[in-house]
Amino acid sequence: MNSITFIGRRLLQIVPVLIGISLVSFFLIMMIPGDPVRIVLGPRATEAAVAAMRQEWGLDRPIWAQYLSYVGNTLTGDLGQSLKFRVPVLDLVLQYLPRTMFLVAYVLVLSLPATILMAVIAARNEGRWPDQLIRVISILGMTIPVFWLGVLFARYFGVKLGWFPVSGYGEGFVDHLHHLFLPAVSTSLWLAPLLTRNLRAALIEQTEADYVAASRAKGLPEGYIFRRHILRNSVLPTLNLLGVMIAFLIGGSVVVEIVYAVPGLGALMVGSVLGRDYFVIQGLTLVYAIATVAITLAIDIFTAAIDPRTSE
């Protein structure tokens, strides 16, 4: 199957997923207690004013008509207007999204080299003390809560030693790196061990494969076999896990963003939930879901490029 056919098939498979996402994000706003019209107008608003605004927003129409309008508006980039900030939701998303994506990229830059290094060392020394040490570190990294590490690092490295800021995003690239170092490290100490365990297991499994034994029988150098065959084939399952974790980081960044007061999507979501900003909640839910679908598609395409057999 050629790449164009594979991509086309994957895009067609995403269509029902996007329809499901639109349904969930639409009915989510319907199930939240409260009336957005009364929140905007205040408790002293007259019934006539409430009825007029409900008619203006189309909330007096049947539910199916409201859903069709929602889909049409979404396709044109209209996610509604924030009740709190009085600006379009899309503008808020575009304002806060780069901060979260910068943090996610920062986490990946710190995590991926450490993952590859630790997994390779562990797999090449299976059963010996380097492998045992890395396995213990991985277990500890996955069991320690990220929010606890965040609070600990903020208190010690930020407040006590004063090495790093404990809030904000900074101005400029270098300042962003400085402000987000502790949030990125806190998250990396959880992500890297998870990826390391997965990649280590895949490396060991591939090392024992028949094609590796055949390559050794041909007299190929061990380093060449490891780089050309073992490592390449071991990356695929870890790559799929990485795609899931990237989507999780975008939506789950709320923990470190709240601890370190980073003005990203996670902090925006929490503030919107507490402030009953319904349309922002709805828009962010849609953005998170679409981001997950897009990342999954990108990982599938990248996996097919590495191993064309996966697209058959």
- Give the model's confidence band at 3: pLDDT under 50 very low, under 70 low, under 90 confident, else very high: low
What's the chain's average pLDDT? 80
The pLDDT of residue 299 is 79
Give me the pLDDT at residue 312, please.
56
Rounded to whole angstroms, the Cα distance separating 179 from 261 reads: 10
The listed range with the strongest mean pLDDT (86-95, 232-241, 246-255, 298-307) is: 86-95
Please report the sign of the dihedral spanned by the C-alpha atoms of residue 66, residue 67, residue 68, residue 71: positive
- Would you place residue 285 in the very low, low, confident or very high pLDDT band (cuts 50, 70, 90)? confident
Residue 297 pLDDT greater than 60, yes or no: yes
- Residue 253: its pLDDT value, please? 74
This prediction's pTM: 0.81
Residue 252: closest CA among 96, 167, 146, 153: 146
At position 133, the amino acid (one-letter code) is: L
CA distance 267 to 254: 6
Q: Predicted confidence band at 6 (pLDDT cuts at 50, 70, 90)? A: low
Mean pLDDT, residues 18-30 = 79
pLDDT band at 302 (very low <50, low <70, confident <90, very high): confident
Per-residue pLDDT at 1 exceeds 60: no
265-274 vs 89-124: helix crossing angle, rounded to 10: 130
Q: State pLDDT tens for residues 80-133.
A: 778 777 788 888 888 888 888 888 899 899 988 999 888 888 888 878 888 889
How confident is residue 79, by pLDDT bands cut at 50, 70 and 90?
confident
pLDDT value at 306 more than 70: no
Question: Cα-Cα-Cα-Cα dihedral of 73, 76, 77, 82, to 10°?
Answer: -30
From the centroid of its chain, how far is CA 290? Answer: 11
Query: C-alpha distances in angstroms, 115 versus 101, 134, 180, 186?
Result: 20, 10, 20, 15
Structure tokens, 49: 């004013």
Considering the chain, tell me which residue range(s) the CATH 1.10.3720.10 domain(s) occupy: 89-306
* CATH topology classification for 89-306: MetI-like fold (1.10.3720)
Q: Which two tokens stand for residue 119?
A: 């997994």
pLDDT at 219: 75
Q: Residue 279: name the closest of 115, 68, 132, 83 by CA.
A: 83
